[in-house]
Amino acid sequence: MLHRLAITTGDDYAPLGDAAVARLVECRVEMELSKAARFALRFEEEICEQKNELLDGDDPLLKRDTRVGIFTSFEKSDTIECLLVGRVTKVRSSHIVGGRGSWVEVHGEDRRVDMGKVHINGTYTGLASEVVQQIVRQYGYNETRIDPTLIEYKKPQPQLTQSDTDLAFIESIARANNMDFRIEYEVETGFDKAVSQVTETAVLATSPPADKSATGPLPPVLSKPEHVLRLNPAGDDCANITKFDGKIDYDKPTSAFGFAMDDAKERDVRSQLAEDPVVADPSKLTETRKMFEARRDPAPPKPDPVAAQLAKESLVQEQSWFVEADCSASSERLGFLVLPHAIVKVENMGPNLSGLYQVKTATHVFTPTDRLVDFTLRANGFEESADG
């Protein structure tokens, strides 16, 4: 088995078979905010008497939709942590003359992939968060943590309409409400330290948590860091990351102005949208475009102050992340599992790059001798504001 890596198959979390373990040479897990986690397992392949020993075998890992769990642990802790529980979605292979250098790769995604297989049409009433709660329960998640959304859909007013897969529908709800849809894991082990149960929690929430007392759109506030990152520490402290490439984008806006259409002020709103509009010469219109002249302008949309407020918050939150850093480290030296959404504190990088960050992406690579992680951090302020 690769360094401090455990892989299971099936709903009962059975350990990977000995034949596959002996051939496993690399495991890669890619994670990103608001996206499903993906994994790739590479195995050495042997070709004997025109038969591929692994690919042509009956290992369940190579079967479609096999449930796969990927777990790791740390030397100073007995706790087993879960990177993901997912499904096999693709198998790749490469065969070399003579067999030596041939390989098989198993690819997959976390269990959100189950939610993206069937196209559904439907309409719903009530809060969007209540609809999400109903949908995720159908996929067997042990627990849910769904933050309430703000807009309530009623008849005969426009209702919440789905015309996509459950996954795409929930992700669109998350974007519209400035939230993030993700899966969190909690591992239970038996007396033999093997995985016995994994609690999967479907989460729909803001990330980082929003300030509910704010009266207007504000950049997200980072607080309560879970871990500390050090590149060039002072004194006897040891560095726990090997690379930190910082980027500051001063051109990103940090404020927004918006409005909702109002029937009584329709002309005023239109004058704000465009001044001195240019009207095309009818004599120069093609026959195709003339067909549209007889059509009446569509009725203006009903004003929705809540939707306008959410749109402003979305712009402010998205554009406020003007500091990023690409980092590399050994997971052993770090001593913790880097996961998206986590808040970390960077020290000894000066007033512009020190402070609190949120993990944006993480790529974990396991080899026979080590486990490495490349990850991206994001921040929306300098040390003075981030520490406050």
Q: Are residues 242 and 387 in the same domain?
A: yes
Distances in whole angstroms, Cα of residue 112 to Cα of each of 172, 279, 331, 372: 14, 48, 26, 25
Judge whether 190 lies within some domain: no
Residues 157 and 107 in one domain: no
Reading phi first (left if > 0) and then psi (alpha if -120 to 50, else beta), residue 180 is in beta
Same domain, residue pair 95 and 219: no
**Claim to verify: residue 319 and residue 367 sit in the same structural domain:** yes
**238 vs 32, residue with greater confidence:** 32
Q: pLDDT at position 135, please? A: 95
CATH label of the domain that carries residue 53? 2.40.10
Structural domain count of the chain: 3
Question: What pLDDT does 388 receive?
Answer: 38
pLDDT > 90? residue 227: yes
Q: Note the pLDDT of residue 25.
A: 93
Instruction: Look at 369 and 234; give whichever has higher pLDDT.
Output: 369
Domain final residue, candidates 111, 133, 148: 111
Per-residue confidence (pLDDT) for residue 87, from 0 to 100: 96
User: How is residue 314 written in tokens?
Assistant: 């979305």
Percent of the chain scoring above 70 in pLDDT: 83
Dihedral angle sign, alpha carbons of residues 258, 263, 268, 272: positive
* Boundary of a domain, candidates 174, 207, 240: 207
- Residue 18, pLDDT score: 85
Distance CA 177, CA 307 (A): 9
Task: Enumerate residues 6+ apart whose C-beta is below 8 A from 247.
Answer: 323, 324, 325, 326
Nearest to 105, CA basis, from 61, 55, 58, 41? 41
Instruction: Point out the domain boundary residue: 90, 111, 132.
Output: 111
| Residues 53 and 159 both lie in one domain | no
Residue for token digits 């770090």?
334
Note the pLDDT tens digit of each residue in 69-82: 999 998 877 789 99
pLDDT in tens, 105-143: 999 999 999 999 999 998 999 999 999 999 999 999 999
Domain identity same for 73 and 178: no
Residue pLDDT, tens place only, 98-107 = 778 889 999 9
pLDDT at 328 over 80: yes
Residue 140 Cα distances to 136, 155, 249, angstroms:
7, 30, 42
The whole-angstrom separation of Cα 85 and Cα 3 is: 19
- Tell me, what's the pLDDT at 212? 65
> Helix, strand or coil for residue 351?
helix
191 within a domain of the structure (yes/no): no
Neighbours of 144 (CB within 10 A): 14
Over residues 213-239, mean pLDDT: 80
Least confident of 6-15, 48-57, 145-154: 48-57
In a domain? residue 250: yes
Query: What are 260-312's pLDDT values in tens digits?
Result: 444 555 544 433 333 344 444 555 545 545 555 555 455 555 657 777 778 77
Cα 384–chain centre separation: 28
What's the pLDDT at 387? 41
The predicted model scores a pTM of: 0.82
Whether 241 shows a pLDDT value over 90: the answer reads yes
Q: Quote the mean pLDDT of the chain.
A: 83
* Structural tokens at position 387: 């520490």
Q: Is pLDDT larger for residue 312 or for residue 344?
A: 344
Residue 192 lies in a domain: no
235 and 362 inside one domain: yes
Domain that residue 260 falls in? 215-388
Q: What percent of the chain has pLDDT over 90?
A: 51
Q: What is the mean pLDDT of residues 332-359?
A: 92
- Which of 44-48, 63-67, 265-269, 331-335 comes out lowest in average pLDDT? 265-269
79 & 20 share domain: yes
